[in-house]
Structure 1
Amino acid sequence: MPDYPQSMPLKSKKPRKYGVFHWSLLREFASTGLLVSSILLGIVVLTQLIRLLGESVSGLLAVDGVLAMLGFSALNYLPVLLSISLFLSVLLTLTRSYRDSEMVVWFTSGIGLTRWIRPVMWYALPMVGLIALFSLVLTPWALTMADEYKRRLESRDDVSSATPGTFRESKQADRVFFLEEMDASHKRVANIFVRSKQNGREGTMVAREGYQETAPNGDRFLVLLNGMRYEGLPGQADYRIVEFERYAMRIEPAELRQAVPSQRSYPTAELIRNPTTWNVAELEWRIGLPLSALILTLLAIPLSFVNPRAGRSLNLIVAMVLFMFYNNMISVTNSWVGQGKMNAATGLLGIHAFMFVVMLLMFFHRSGVNPWRRWRR
């Protein structure tokens, strides 16, 4: 018999188990998380922008400092916003899977509830690391820079910190002035109104234009050109009207206030080196943010279960109640640690260990496992 060449059997590559399951979840987690974080960040930025613009209009903040202070405020809120968006992205994604009966398909395919932990962790761990970076490093830095930047703005003199088109009171509370226009260098101004009170006499000055001038000894003056000065009270004999071509007003230098940093702006290394009660409480708050974000993300897996008989929104209500309870208890325990009513170990581990146990019990409940019965056996 002729020998025919025997074909070698091809080794088929074993497909990665649950690869489609993992990647589909990761994509949906990421898209939902991006949407939620964008909405939350937009709300925070809008509210902070309204507050800062109000301070600018009232003269408490210079116009050119609004955007910088807005950026520092956003960095301050980012750790909490990322924690909320991480929790909601997992919760909303899995809740939708229950409502659309996708969970039934996965469960019948042999994928139990604990199988969801791995893709959730793949999604959550980078986010938790980012939250830890903001909480431990970037947020304290942003608070320090915001305070330093605000101190520099407050150290400006009255003219440099003036906002065109608004009335402003001097830092010595002896003048009220109005500038209609100011160039970008803050050197030249136009259409000036100044009302002052000196030696018991009130005076009002108006001028078409003016500029800032520095004397050889370092004193700074606002020189008004082509204006009028009204001194005294109308109707009295000593009321005077003076027309001038040039009038120099001394600009009082602003006093630079001393920085009084709070625990929130201390670098994390400084909190560790100086372990006072309030420093320890602040350190526990920073460590607790990424830790609580991880526990809440895992807790979202059993919380996403939807019981059609109990209503489709009941699980979301329970989830938000647990979220608020968790965060409020973190704040309460941190306050107790700062006041010396609770030791540091209990404050750091107590509430997180309690919520971890709650998470395990909910996993047992949703998986149909009774841990007490197994323990008795």
Structure 2
Amino acid sequence: MIFERSLQRELAYTAGAVFMVLLTLVLTTMMIRIVGFAASGEIDPRDVLVLIGLTVIGYLAIMLVATLFVSILFVLTRWYKDSEMVVWLSSGVSLTQFIKPIGIFATPIIILIMFFVFVGWPWSNQQSKLIRARFQQRDEVSLLAPGQFRESATSHRVFFIEKMSPDQARVENVFVTSTENGKVNVVVSKTGHTETRKNGDRFVVLENGRRYDGQPGQPDFRIMEFERYGVKIQSQPVVNTPSTTGTPTLTLLRNPTNDNLAEFAWRAGLPLIAINLMLLAIPLAHQNPRRSRTINLVMAVLIYLTYSNLLNVVQSWIEQGKMSFPVGLVGLHVIVAAIVAFIFWLRVRNRPLFTRAIFSRSQGA
């Protein structure tokens, strides 16, 4: 029918615009957050763009759910605002007949949501974790920067170098201080280089320098001159934090612990949220043409945030064992589907969502 083609065409244009706005917001937020991590030394600055891309891939499913809901609501609200909906409804098109064209439009988006939540979300989180772990395993030499004091996280050492070769093999004018058993050791040298032993240990070999040993506040400092002095390079230990966000979906089902089942319930919940919100947007778009569209937008934001937060609560309850997995998987969505069906029934019967009878009586009195 003509109205189906018109509806789907306008939905496609609106969905593209809404998605670009959401993508811009997510990119801006993630860029500020990840650049902050790089500035604080938690990630490698060279990995910023990669981590931003991986984060966007992880959040694509959530953005697509919001895009689907908002675009349907925007288009139908505009039709009510411009009285186009009145024309279609008076031509014999019922409100339930909008489900088919909107469902056809939403089907590829829901498939993309399923792909990104079941495949893209765990993959992006796993890759981000690997990048962070690789950065955690960097050795002390990689922390050094010419002209800057750097403290090692694995030992009580502070390094300072004046010059360094591009390949980090040669250093000049080196200062190293460390604390051992209450004593301070200070080593200074003119030049140095890195060496790797057969067993894999790496050393910074300092040349033509001095070592000062002693206890602060005591005069018995020892001074030693050396031609070669080796400082072992230590790597930072990898801090493994238990997380199911990077676990592949099939692995969650093969190992059905509470945490894994809770993560699977959250992933499976996003496509179900998309379907329920897609249907809810049809009756929710109804409004008086003289009323502003801002009200519908505010309601959409509140409904989306409430629904998604309830899904997070269900996930938490499954993790804690307060709710069984089958109930947590479908219970919330069945309740929302029943509410959507009730709202549809009210709109088909041409009844308001919130009765004004009491308000009218009070005015008459």
CA 1:197–1:40: 2 relative to 1, 3 Å: same
* Letter paired with 1:69: L
More off after superposition, 125-134 vs 312-321: 312-321
> Aligned partners of 1:165 and 1:35: how far apart in 2?
48
Equivalent positions of 1:302-341 (< 5 A) are: 302-308=283-289, 311-341=292-322
Equivalent positions of 1:41-120 (< 5 A) are: 41-120=23-102
How big is the shift at 1:189?
5.5
> Aligned partners of 1:179 and 1:109: how far apart in 2?
81
What SS does the corresponding residue of 2:204 show, helix, strand or coil? strand
Residue matched to 1:132: 114
Residue matched to 2:186: 203
RMSD between aligned residues:
3.3
Residue matched to 2:4: 22
CA 1:193–1:201: 2 relative to 1, 3 Å: closer
* Letter paired with 1:130: L
Paired residue for 1:152, among 125, 130, 134? 134
Deviations 1:165-198 (A, max 9, x none): 7643212241123567766644455776544335
TM-score, scaled to structure 1: 0.79
Deviations 1:20-55 (A, max 9, x none): x33333333223222322232332233333333222
Paired residue for 1:299, among 272, 280, 294? 280
> Aligned partners of 1:315 and 1:174: how far apart in 2?
59
Unaligned runs of 5+ in 1: 1-16, 371-377
Deviations 1:317-341 (A, max 9, x none): 2222222222222222222222222
Residue matched to 2:358: none
> Aligned partners of 2:216 and 2:222: how far apart in 1?
9
Residue matched to 1:270: 251
Size of the alignment, in residue pairs?
Answer: 350
Q: Residues 184 and 216 of structure 2 are in contact (CA less than 8 Å); yes or no, is this contact kept in structure 1? A: no
TM-score, scaled to structure 2: 0.81
CA 1:256–1:327: 2 relative to 1, 3 Å: closer
Deviations 1:348-371 (A, max 9, x none): 22211111122122222222268x
* Letter paired with 1:284: A
CA 1:133–1:228: 2 relative to 1, 3 Å: same
Unaligned runs of 5+ in 2: 352-365
CA 1:309–1:235: 2 relative to 1, 3 Å: same
Deviations 1:211-257 (A, max 9, x none): 43323443312345788877779998667999988764321244445
Deviations 1:246-291 (A, max 9, x none): 764321244445x454222222212222222332222111111111
What SS does the corresponding residue of 2:321 show, helix, strand or coil? coil
What SS does the corresponding residue of 2:333 show, helix, strand or coil? helix
Structure with bigger gyration radius: 1
